[in-house]
Structure 1
Amino acid sequence: MPFFIEVILPLALPKPFTYAVNEAEFNLLEKGMRVAVPFGRNKIYTALVVGRHHNPPQLYEAKEIHQILDEKPIVTPMQLQHWEWIASYYMCTIGEVYKSALPSALLLESETVITPQKDFESVEAQFTDDEYLVYEALQKQPVLTIQEVVSLLNKKTVLPVINRLINKKAIALREEVNEKYRPKTIRYIRLQPEFLQEEKLNSLLEMLSRAQKQREAVLQYFQFQASEKKPVTVKRLTDSGSNAAVIKALIDKGIFEEYYLEEDRVQFEKEEQASFGLSTKQEEAFETIKASFKSHQVTLFNGITSSGKTEIYIRLIEEYIKQGKQVLYLLPEIALTTQLVVRLTAYFGNQVAVFHSKYSNNERVETWQQVLENSEKAKVIIGARSALFLPFNNLGLIIIDEEHEQTFKQQDPAPRYHARDAAIVLAGFFDAKVLLGSATPSIESYYNAGHGKYGYAELKERYGKVMPPEIVLVDLKDKYKRKRMTGHFSDTLIDAINETLSEGRQIILFQNRRGYSPWVECMTCGHVPQCPQCDVSLTYYKYKSQLRCHYCGYTIANPTHCHQCHSTDLSTKGFGTEQIELELKELFPDKNSWRMDQDTTKGKFGYEKIIDAFKNREVAILVGTQMLAKGLHFDNVGLVGILNADNMLYQPDFRAFERAYQMMVQVAGRAGRKEIRGRVMIQTYNPLHNIIRQVTDSDYEAMFKEQLYERQNFKYPPFYRLVRITLRHRDFEKLKNASLWLVNVLSQNLNVPVLGPEEPPVSRIRNEYIRAVMVKIPQGNKLVATKKAISRILTSFEAVPQYRPVRITVNIDPY
């Protein structure tokens, strides 16, 4: 009887593949275990077992697996179910979900290694210099990687050299899979057992009387043993003055014995004084949430900024941990995890685990294993959207903080999932509860709560009864007219900054654009330097004196003259965080000002350094993009300045007004979070704009009703589901014809509105032209049937030979 397994590969393949195994492997393998399998031109991939059977495939001959990588499953059946839902709902392949879900250290790809041919006679061979270098290196070591050959020859293209050696039968290639994850081990030392008796100890010290440093190391070891009563690490001894050579000599003499213990890479300490009490209003909200969970799986918690939502979350987490359940706490930005981890670990200690892309591969694998084992070290998992894919087996509660944030939506690559929606489905598999928290809920969530689909709880009072900040509008049109502007700062804002600084309080300034200036313009002919590969102007960075494209990373040195008319009269237009930071240094030279944006937070601890420095009051003024707008808690902020509110209002997106409202309210919420009332200055050319008025009055209801009316009129969510189909190709005409064909076929076969093909605001990226088609599916229509019809049309589109090179991506609920 033949034995086969079904596996999914980390590639965009529509279905699982079948591989042959022997009987012993068949009995050993379980669903959710990894195996290394050959695929394509003998490349080896890490595949995941999803089934076992005895039926050979009909269309191809099943290959044998390369090796088994796990002793027990590392993916749970519930996870596989969830992945299948994501693949089906977001119209992508299960392979893409698998690749996105697993930490890359668990997804091994083979590496091509070069080995010498055993029966090769080098005497007759005619080698070039490069070939001889490679051949000689292989005589000294058994294998070479391609990267090692690149370094050896100091060339980027080494494949011709390798091919010539293969033709001469001097070398052979083979694929090798290496395990990337290694547990962290700590080196400890202990005294050999025979020296533990008192008389032997005295003779040992006498024996070392001439080796003074070795004697000191032994005495130091005893001191640590007596005071700490725990194993002594080699690092502890070397830190106290003994050097590595002394410790090695003691090991060689058989006095010390070294041993290794595995240890987690990330550990947290609990604080003893971390307890707190809830205010009356918080207690009421807490009870409302608990009551709502009895009748609803999902509850929307609408708590204004600084109302103490985190304290309520901690109380809820505590209740679920007592029941032995796991809790997932999702955040929209990695920056937010920094502060939250400190607050939660103070309360829950080492029961907290963190999972996001700024953590190293090995740290993420350790968290994965702790969650899989339902370890005490991973009762509360804090993370960005990728934490959704962890192998939970006893999930009780999912908290989605700042649920309105657009960063919960993955845009590229596939799966283009929305973490909030996918988390609600995941909770359904475990019969777990979901709490959506926000001071400015998304229109869809608020609509669902209003129609009874979600439970609802609210908290409309700031913690400690602190007054909400006073919001002041500054009319930029009027200020420029009266010449009361210094750079991008109005006299009103400068006075407010001076006053706040004199009170010893800190300031946050918000400008949702990084770089120095969005573009450079020639004042003679109006030419603006463009990216040669994308349809966007290049952003100017003064610090590096360069122009950079934010889409493809293309850079050029800052031009000294116009590329079109050679005029030297060049001017920067618009402004970003870098320009504001430089202006602050001129206006307030004696005050420390920093900026926080994508360019300054690139390292693993980029966020921590800035947030800690600001929290410890080392920085007086912090300038930043939307990273600053969300959930950060600083006690000493007296003033928040929004430098240009109009930037947010006029975006080509049906959510622009909703997002502008949310962003401004969230940024404003960073001010005056303790005792003294804070102030918010909003600089705008349009102080009478509806959204700005609604922000000033904190009138969420008015914004919600107005936007809901617009959405119903123009067929947008929550009344319609959107499917955005994007087409890309380097040939403009071919793309145009392909997109027209697709729109015609979609319009004929779907009984729903189809818009397009349209050019998006940035219509060319990395030399590929882009067209977008929007399908709007009404609430009453069957979503599954419509998506199946779209899939069939896309399959027939790919069957047309001239359209096959056109790249298509499908994005469900794209915004």
Structure 2
Amino acid sequence: MPYFIDVILPLPLQKRFTYAISEAEANFLQEGMRVAVPFGKSKIYTAITAAIHQNPPQVYEAKPINQILDKAPLITNHQLKFWNWIASYYMCAEGEVLKAALPGAFLLESESIVQLTKEANIEETELKDEEYLVIEALQRQSSIKIQEVAKILDKKNVLPILNELVQKGLVLLNQEIYEQYKPKKIRYVRLNSMYDNEANMHRLLDELENAPKQKEALLSYFSLKAQHKKPLKAKELSDKSGVSAAIIKSLIKKEILEEFYKKTDRVSFEEESSLTNIKLSEIQQKAFSEIEAGLVEQDVCLFHGVTSSGKTEIYIKLIEKVIDKGQQALYVLPEIALTTQLIDRLRAYFGDKVLVYHSKYSVNERVEVYQHILQDSEKARIVIGARSSIFLPFANLGLVVVDEEHETSFKQFDPAPRYHARDAAVVLAKLFKAKIILGSATPSLESYFNAQHHKYAFVELNRRYANVLDPEIEIVDIKTKYKKKEMKGHFSDRMLTEIKDTLDGGEQVILFQNRRGFSPVLECNTCGHSPQCPNCDVSLTYHSHNNQLRCHYCGYHIAMQKKCMACDSPEITTKGFGTEQIETELKAIFPDYKTARMDQDTTRGKYAYEKLINAFEQQEIDILIGTQMLSKGLDFRKVNLVGVMNADNLLNFPDFRAHERSFQLMLQVAGRAGRTKKRGKVLIQSYNPHHQIIQQVSTGDYSGMYKDQLEERYNYKYPPFHRLIRITLKCRDYSKTNDAAEWLATGMKNVFKENVLGPEFPPVARIRNEYYKNILLKIPQQQSLGKTKKVLQRIMESFRAIGAFRGVKIVINVDPI
């Protein structure tokens, strides 16, 4: 009797493929194990076993698998179910979900690159013949493809040999894509043990009489050791004693001091937990009890707590209860920057039970975290992560916390699956029969609507922790200020006075401008021409730090122009302003204070967020200027003033969510001010100070904003009353994009009638030389979502069968943001 398996390949294929296996393999294999399978003429991929059965495929003959890569399943049954749901709900392929869910190191394929590790200790006697041949080839050239390994060994199936070498720590895979993770090693020094007795010690000090610097370093070592019991870093010794690193080196050479290295790794955590108990205030305790009661009735609880109300302490208490039951907790955050502060707080409380997972981690670190969670180890009781952490292999999930649940960063834009981590987390929790808490100071309209209609439990915490006052919000009318000539650059006199007073008081300032770069538009005063990107329909943004004009869509850049590219006039001015320009102006106005920027340009490195946040916390920075990264849940004790440089560019945005989002952003940014005893201050500069949203922000009127926006959404048929699916067509050929969009829209209108909007060009209609066109489908509440998607899939299949539209790519975005 033949046996078969259905596998998920890491490719955008609409269905699973079936392969033949032997009876022995069938007895060994389990769902969730990886297998190496041939696909196409010559390629080999790592696929995931999704089902084992005895039904041969009808249309093609099943090829045999190459081999089994795991001894135990790498993917749990819960994950397979979850992937399936994501693929069907967000209308993408399971293979795309697989690619998003697994660290790249797990998915070897014939195109993979093999390299020697830098620290490889090669013991030739321990290598098998074939392994030795691979290592020998790698010693001659820096990297080889897996296909080339197959030629060297003259055999098709080389993945098991490479897997062995990976496990022995001798080779790396896929290294051309990933930066390699080097464990961070810190150099420490200690006194040679022979000087532990007093006689030797005295003799040593006498010998060093002629080397005063070395003696000074040694005496500093003793005094520092007396203060702290911890091991002493070499750098700390040289800083504190004021002697150079060369002096310490000579002490090591003389074998008076010994140096040793300790690996400090973000995934491990050595220190003991220092916070043993968190005392909740009376109001927090009340909210905590209400959440517990709400979670008995419902699986989901929306927790609406104003900024700085102490939501994190309540989450910690809830997590503690779950861990005491032996379950796991997942804490999802919208932004990597946020994890930095939170990790410290959670680790101070839970010690080494906390693991972190996000995209700034290297592939090896991700594998490490993945394995800990799969094995349900003690280290993986709590997982903190950005949106991708919902894909981890939880064994026993008891609680999911989605903090700042209103954040748009929870939605994945590219590539597929275009999932929303908050919505997917609700489904994930249901799979485990776990509870989920959605927390925010400014909940999304959809979540608040669900809570109002008793789909979710609802708990409110409307007082700040320790009765700290809400910040005082003042609106500055810059239209009048410009007329009265009371502006200095982009700062009103009011803003400058407040910044000066705050800095004089030894406190810090945060300034918010949701545009990076120096200036978004460069314009010629003579002919009005502004430099455009040749690949996209956008103007180039000026960045002063490297004197370049850059496209924020495709990365195209040219040197800053001295004269107009159209008419050669030297009269060029910049229009609009970004974070960089504010930084330049501030340095001129307040030269004695330290300013820093936090935007995509300054946080590119792996530890960049951490360095910036730590420097700001330790008051090495006085004024921090940033984009929306700043608005999210960060907790700085000494910030007393927050300035919003221009509220209008948030409001005047062609999107039905623009007003809701502006309200959330401004209120969140405002929440960074005055988080201790002294009342904070927020200044919002606007040309339109009487705008309804700005007025609602100034009074913190969430329910007023909710009612207004809900009414508009109802009138114009938008969520939460109608579901949306956006279909984007893109192609390098302008007329083909148009024709394809017309054909598809007509096909959809025949079925869905007036609920189809478009086709329409988006505000930026060309990116990287591809033309974009959007069609929006609105789905009324009473209409079945599942049936709608099935009809849509059928229309798509007919579309794909048309030869003339073969070059047109289709992107389906369910619940777009």
Amino acid in the other structure paired with 1:4: F
| Matched AA of 1:19 | Y
Distance change (3 Å), C-alpha of 1:589 and 1:694: same
SS of alignment partner, residue 63 of structure 1:
coil
Q: Which amino acid aligns with 2:25?
A: E
Answering whether residue 323 of structure 2 is matched by residue 324 of structure 1, we say no
Aligned ranges 1:91-170 → 2 under 5 Å: 91-111=91-111, 142=137, 148=143
Cα distance in 1 between the residues matched to 2:67 and 2:153: 24
User: Counterpart of 1:5 in structure 2: which amino acid?
Assistant: I
> Equivalent residues in 2 for 1:297-696 (5 A)?
297-696=299-698
The equivalent residue for 1:120 is none
d(CA) in 1 for partners of 2:511, 2:139: 54
Q: Is the 8 Å Cα contact of residues 112 and 146 (structure 1) preserved in structure 2?
A: no
Which residue of the partner structure matches residue 738 of structure 1? 740
Kindly tell me: are residues 230 and 475 of structure 1, through their superposed partners in 2, closer, same or farther at Cα, counting changes over 3 Å?
closer
Is the 8 Å Cα contact of residues 138 and 144 (structure 2) preserved in structure 1?
no
User: 1:59 offset after TM fit, Å?
Assistant: 2.4
Are 2:3 and 2:21, in contact at CA under 8 Å, matched by a contact in 1? Answer: yes
* Amino acid across the alignment from 1:303: G
Distance 1:784 1:69, change over 3 A: same
Task: Give me the identity figure in percent.
Answer: 57
TM-aligned CA deviation for residue 2 of structure 1? 2.3
CA separation of 1:112 and 1:309: change in aligned 2, threshold 3 A: closer
Query: Is contact 2:358-2:388 (8 Å) kept?
Result: yes
In the aligned structure 1, how far is the partner of 2:656 from the partner of 2:230? 62
C-alpha displacement of 1:109: 2.0
Letter in 1 for 2:89: Y
Does the CA-based 8 Å contact 1:520-1:570 persist in structure 2? yes
In structure 1, distance between residues paired with 2:768 and 2:113: 33
Structure 2 contact 267–355 (Cα < 8 Å) conserved: no
Cα 1:455/1:110, change in 2 over 3 Å: same
> Aligned in 2, Cα 1:145/1:520: closer, same or farther, shift over 3 Å?
farther
Judging changes above 3 Å, is the alpha-carbon distance between structure 1 residues 99 and 300 closer, same or farther for their aligned structure 2 residues?
same
Inter-partner Cα distance in structure 2 for 1:473 and 1:308: 27
Residue deviations 1:610-655, cap 9 Å, x none? 0000000110000000000010000000100000000100111100
Aligned residue number for residue 5 of structure 1: 5
1:301 partner letter: F
Offset of residue 105 of structure 1: 1.5
Displacement after TM superposition at 1:78 (Å): 0.8
Give the gaps of 5 or more residues in structure 1: 115-137, 151-158, 188-226, 232-238, 248-259
Per-residue deviation, residues 292-311 of structure 1 (Å, max 9, x unmatched): 00101101000000000001
Contact 2:92-2:417 within 8 A present in 1 as well = yes
Q: Hey, what does 1:199 align to over in structure 2?
A: none
Is 1:68 paired with 2:68? Answer: yes
The equivalent of 2:37 in structure 1 is: 37
Q: Who is 2:87 aligned against?
A: 87
Q: Is the 8 A contact 2:66 2:157 kept in 1?
A: no
> What is the aligned partner in structure 2 of residue 281 from structure 1?
283
Q: CA deviation at 1:171?
A: 12
Task: Tell me the SS of whatever aligns to 2:580.
Answer: helix
Is the 1:301–1:436 contact (alpha carbons within 8 Å) kept by the matching residues of 2?
Answer: yes
Residues of 2 paired with 1:145 and 1:754: CA distance?
60
Q: Which residue of the other structure, out of 693, 705, 708, is the alignment partner of 1:706?
A: 708
Q: Deviations over 1:659-686 (max 9, x none)?
A: 0000000000000000000000000000
Q: CA deviation at 1:175?
A: 7.8
Counterpart code for 1:489: F
State the partner residue of 1:776: 778
The answer to whether the 8 Å contact 2:267/2:369 transfers is no
How far, CA to CA, are the matches of 1:765 and 1:274 in structure 2? 53
Task: State the 1:104 CA deviation.
Answer: 1.1
Distance in 2 between residues matched to 1:429 and 1:325, nearest whole Å: 14
| Secondary structure in structure 2 of the residue aligned to 1:750 | helix
TM-aligned CA distance change 1:32 to 1:701, over 3 Å: same
Change (3 A) 1:241 1:144: closer
1:714 & 1:703 partners in 2: Cα distance? 17
C-alpha separation in 2, matches of 1:376 and 1:140: 36
Q: Which string of whole-angstrom CA distances, capped at 9 and with x for unpartnered residues, describes residues 196-249 of structure 1?
A: xxxxxxxxxxxxxxxxxxxxxxxxxxxxxxx99999xxxxxxx998999999xx
Q: Which residue of 2 aligns with 1:217?
A: none
Change in CA separation of 1:532 and 1:435 when aligned onto 2, cut-off 3 Å: same
Do the aligned partners of 1:112 and 1:174 also contact (CA within 8 Å) in 2?
A: no
User: What code does the residue aligned with 2:361 have?
Assistant: Y
Gaps of 5+ in 2: 115-132, 170-181, 186-225, 232-244, 256-261
For 1:97, give the aligned amino acid: V
Q: CA deviation at 1:62?
A: 2.3
Match of 1:37, as an amino acid?
A: V
Q: What CA deviation, in whole Å up to 9, does each residue of 1:5-36 have, x standing for no partner?
A: 21111100111112222332222111001112
Q: CA deviation at 1:744?
A: 0.8
- Which residue is equivalent to 2:815? 813
For 1:73 and 1:139, how far apart are their aligned partners in 2? 28
Change (3 A) 1:425 1:265: closer
Q: 1:491 to 1:84 in 2, by over 3 A?
A: same
Q: CA deviation at 1:67?
A: 2.7
TM-score, normalising length from structure 1? 0.84
Secondary structure at 2:20 match in 1: strand
Residue by residue over 1:263-319, the C-alpha shift from the partner in whole angstroms, topping out at 9 and shown as x without a partner, is 995325333345221111101100000000010110100000000000100110111
SS in 1 for 2:728: strand
**RMSD of the alignment, in Å?**
3.3
Go from structure 1 to structure 2 and tell me whether the alpha carbon gap of 1:181 and 1:304 turns closer, same or farther (over 3 Å shift). farther
1:417-464 deviations in whole A, cap 9, x for unaligned?
000110001111111111010000000111110111100001111111
Q: Contact 2:508–2:623 (CA<8 Å) still a contact in 1? A: yes
- SS of alignment partner, residue 729 of structure 2: strand
1:690-711 per-position Cα deviation (integer Å, ceiling 9, x unaligned): 0000000111111000000000
Asked if the contact 2:301–2:436 (Cα under 8 Å) also holds between the matched residues in 1, the reply is yes
What is the rounded CA distance, in whole Å, between the counterparts of 2:489 and 2:418 in structure 1? 41
Residue in structure 2 matched with residue 272 of structure 1 by the alignment: 274
Measured in 2, the distance between the counterparts of 1:747 and 1:308 equals 50
SS at match of 1:64: coil
Alignment of 1:53-64 (within 5 A): 53-64=53-64
Counterpart-to-counterpart distance in 1, 2:357 and 2:32: 21
- Write the deviation string for residues 794-815 of structure 1: whole angstroms up to 9, x where unpaired: 1001111101211001000001
Write the letter of the residue equivalent to 1:49.
Answer: T
Q: What SS does structure 2 have at the residue aligned with 1:404? A: coil
